[in-house]
Amino acid sequence: MSEANPNGCEVRELDIVIVGAGIAGCYMLYKSRELRLEAQVFEAGDGVGGTWYWNRYPGARCDIESMEYSYQFDKELQQEWEWTERYASQPEILAYINHVADRHDLRKDIQFETRVTSAHFDEGDARWTVETDRGDRVRACFVVMATGCLSSANTPDFPGLHDFAGETYHTGRWPHEGVDFTGKRVGVIGTGSSGIQSIPIIAKQAEHLTVFQRTPNYSVPAHNGPLDPEVQKRVKADYDGLRDRNREVPFGAFADVEGAEESALEASPEERDGHYERWWENGGLTFLVSYGDLMFDPAANITAAEFAQRKIREVVKDPAVAELLVPDQTIGCKRLCADTGYFEAYNRPNVSLVDVRKAPIQEITPEGLLTSDAEFELDAIVFATGFDAMTGALLSIDIRGRDGVSLAEAWSEGPRCYLGLQSAGFPNLFTITGPGSPSVLSNMIPSIEQHVEWIADCIAYLRANGKSQIEATVEAQNDWIDHVNEVADMTLYRGCNSWYLGANVPGKPQVFMPYIGVPAYLAKCNEVVANGYEGFATR
C-alpha cells in the first residue's frame, strides 16, 4: 500500500525504520534482515561508524581494550580481525565498522546524509510516519532509535562565537581532512576525555596552546602500545568465555583483570599505595576496580583520589599549575579518563592553563576569548565541550506517540524509560542504550548487541503470537526508574556535576540517567522475557 507524500512521491511502507548507522544501527539492520523485515536506515553522516565517524580529533581512541570493544555476533569476524593496539585508535575502529558494513552488505539499506526530523505514531493503523530533512516520508510498524548516547555535540552558546575571525572545531564534529595547527595559537575548551586525549597532540603542533579548564579531571595513563600477539591468541582461544565472564561483572568489561573484592580501608596505607601503584601501571579505567568499594564508600574513594592527586603533583613541574590540575571531586563520579602524556603536556613551554571556574569565559571576541579577568588572542578554538548526552539526539527529533504527546513533553522533567528500551506512550518505538540501561556505564558494544538482540527477539515474539504492538506500561516504567535511582543512591556517582546527570548542559533536568550494574540488568531483561514481556502491554 502506498500514498503520495506532500512532494508527490510515493510513501514507502516498511516494517522497520532504524535511525543511525553507528555500531547499534548497523547491527540492528543485520538482525532485521535475519527476521526478513523490510528495513531502512537513515544516517545523518555520509558513512557508517557513528561516534567513530564523527570524532576524528587527534588522539581519539577507545579506553576499553580493543579485544573487548568489538562485536561478538559474528564469530568468524571476531577470530579474523587483528587489532593492532591495546586500545584501538579512531581510524582503526572506523575501518573495522566499514569492514562489517561491507562484509554484510549493509550499505544498500542505509540512506546517508539524511537526518530524521520527525516520527509520528498513527493510532488508527499503529504505524509510525517518519520524515527526513531530504523530504523522505516512510511508514513503518517499528522504529528503532540507534541515535547514540554521545552523538549530539554540545557547543556552549558563548556570546560572540559567530564573530570569531579564526577557526572553530568541536571534537565530535572533526573535519575529515584533519587540521594542521602548526604555527597557530590554539585554545582548547574542556578537559574531559576528548580534551585529555587531544591536548598532548595539539600541544606538539601548535605554536602555543591555551587550555581553558572549568573542572579538573582524573586521568590514569592508558599505557597504550602494540597489542601483544600472545594476548590476542589467548583471548581468541576462548573468546566466548571472555564475553560470558564480562556479562558477570558490573561494567561488562575487564573480567579477566582480577578486580579486588576487598575494601580499600582494610589495607595499611603502605599496602594500599603498593596496590594502587600496580593498578596505575596496568593503566586505564581498571584503576577503579582496584578495590571493591571505591564507588561505594567515600572514605575508600578518598584513598584512591589522593593517590591520583599525588601522581599529578609528581608529573607537573610547576606547583601552581599542578594545583590547578588536581581535581577535588570523587574519583570516578565523572567518567574517569585514560591518557597518553596528558599531565606531561603542561610541562611544555608552549602550553598554558587557564582556570575558567575562577574566571569564567565571558565571550568569544573576533581575536580570541575573553574571561572575566583576561583576554587571550587565538587563531583557532577547539571545543572539547562534550555532548548533550543520552537524550540530546532523541529530543532533537520531533517524536510524537499516543495522543500526539511529544517525547519532549513526556521527558520534560528528565527521561522516562522502561529498561532504557521503551518509553510508555510510544508503542513500537525502541531506543538502543536508552536512559535507564547500563549504556555509558558499561562496555558499550556488548550492551548495544544485547539491546539489538532483545528488540529483534521481541519483534519475532510479536509476530509469532499474532500481535502487532508492544508498549511499556507506566507502572513498570515508574518502578524501573525508582530502581535506577535506588541503585545510583547506593553509589558515589551522583556526587559531582557530570553529564551522567545532565549537569553539563544549561537548563537540562538533572536526573541520573544510566543504570549501574550489567549483571542485574541482564537478569532483569531475561526475566521480563521469561514472564511474557512483563511490564509491557501487547496487543
Task: Name the site residues for ligand FAD (rule: CB under 6 A).
Answer: 19-25, 42-45, 50-51, 53, 55, 60, 62-64, 69, 115-116, 146-151, 172, 194, 393, 397, 432-433, 443-444, 448
What's the rounded Cα separation, in Å, for the pair 331 and 224? 22
The alpha carbon of residue 271 and the mean position of all alpha carbons in its chain are separated, in whole angstroms, by 35
- If binding means CB under 6 A, how many residues of this protein chain bind ligand NAP? 27
In the complex, minimum distance from the CB of residue 174 to ligand NAP, in angstroms, rounded to a whole number: 11
Quickly tell me which residue has 562484509 as its cell. Answer: 103
What string marks each residue from 137 to 156 as x (binds ligand NAP by CB under 6 A) or -? -------------x-----x
* 11-to-29, 289, 399 alpha-carbon distances in Å: 21, 52, 19
In the complex, minimum distance from the CB of residue 19 to ligand FAD, in angstroms, rounded to a whole number: 5
Half-sphere exposure of 134 (CA within 13 A, CB side): 12
What's the rounded Cα separation, in Å, for the pair 373 and 364? 14
Quick one: 46 or 377, whose CB is closer to ligand FAD? 46
In the complex, minimum distance from the CB of residue 519 to ligand NAP, in angstroms, rounded to a whole number: 21
List the grid coordinates of 67: 579485544
The alpha-helical segments, DSSP class H, found in 4-56 are: 23-34, 51-54
Residues 493-512 that bind ligand NAP (CB under 6 A): 497, 499, 504
Amino acid code (one letter) for 535:
G
Quick one: 260 or 503, whose CB is closer to ligand NAP? 503
What are the backbone angles phi and psi of residue 466, rounded to the nearest 5°?
Answer: 65, 30
Encode burial over 404-432: b for 16+ CB neighbours within 10 A, e otherwise: eebbeebbeebbbbbbbbbbbbbbbbbbb
Encode burial over 29-66: b for 16+ CB neighbours within 10 A, e otherwise: bbbbeeeebebbbbbbbebbbbbbbbbbbbbbbbbbbb
List the one residue from 31, 127, 184, 214 that touches ligand NAP (CB under 6 A). Answer: 214
What's the rounded Cα separation, in Å, for the pair 213 and 320? 14
What's the rounded Cα separation, in Å, for the pair 516 and 441? 6
In the complex, minimum distance from the CB of residue 343 to ligand FAD, in angstroms, rounded to a whole number: 20
Residue 513 as a binder of ligand NAP (CB under 6 A): the answer is: no
Q: Considering CB distances under 5 to 8 angstroms, the limit depending on partner class, which of ligand NAP, ligand FAD, none binds residue 195?
A: ligand NAP
Residue 431 as a binder of ligand NAP (CB under 6 A): the answer is: no
What's the rounded Cα separation, in Å, for the pair 74 and 222? 28
Residue 190 as a binder of ligand NAP (CB under 6 A): the answer is: yes
Q: Considering CB distances under 5 to 8 angstroms, the limit depending on partner class, which of ligand FAD, ligand NAP, none binds residue 191?
A: ligand NAP
Residues 156-175 that bind ligand NAP (CB under 6 A): 156, 171
List the one residue from 66, 309, 385, 491 that touches ligand NAP (CB under 6 A). Answer: 385
In the complex, minimum distance from the CB of residue 150 to ligand NAP, in angstroms, rounded to a whole number: 5
In the complex, minimum distance from the CB of residue 500 to ligand FAD, in angstroms, rounded to a whole number: 13
Quick one: 309 or 447, whose CB is closer to ligand FAD? 447
In the complex, minimum distance from the CB of residue 3 to ligand FAD, in angstroms, rounded to a whole number: 23
In the complex, minimum distance from the CB of residue 77 to ligand FAD, in angstroms, rounded to a whole number: 17
Q: Considering CB distances under 5 to 8 angstroms, the limit depending on partner class, which of ligand FAD, ligand NAP, none binds residue 518?
A: none
Residue 220 as a binder of ligand NAP (CB under 6 A): the answer is: no
Q: What is the DSSP string of 201-228?
A: HHHHHBSEEEEEESS---EEE----BPP
Residue 406 as a binder of ligand NAP (CB under 6 A): the answer is: no
Q: Region of 64 please: left (phi>0), alpha (psi -120 to 50) or beta.
A: beta
Amino acid code (one letter) for 265:
L
In the complex, minimum distance from the CB of residue 327 to ligand FAD, in angstroms, rounded to a whole number: 20
Helix then strand count (H, E) for the chain reads 16, 20
In the complex, minimum distance from the CB of residue 167 to ligand FAD, in angstroms, rounded to a whole number: 20
Residues sharing a CB contact under 8 Å with residue 375, sequence separation 6 or more, in sequence order: 365, 367, 368, 369
| Region binding ligand NAP by CB under 6 A among candidate stretches 190-198, 245-253, 446-454, 517-525 | 190-198
Interface with ligand NAP (CB under 6 A): 62-63, 150, 156, 171, 189-195, 197, 214-215, 335, 338, 356, 361, 384-387, 440, 497, 499, 504
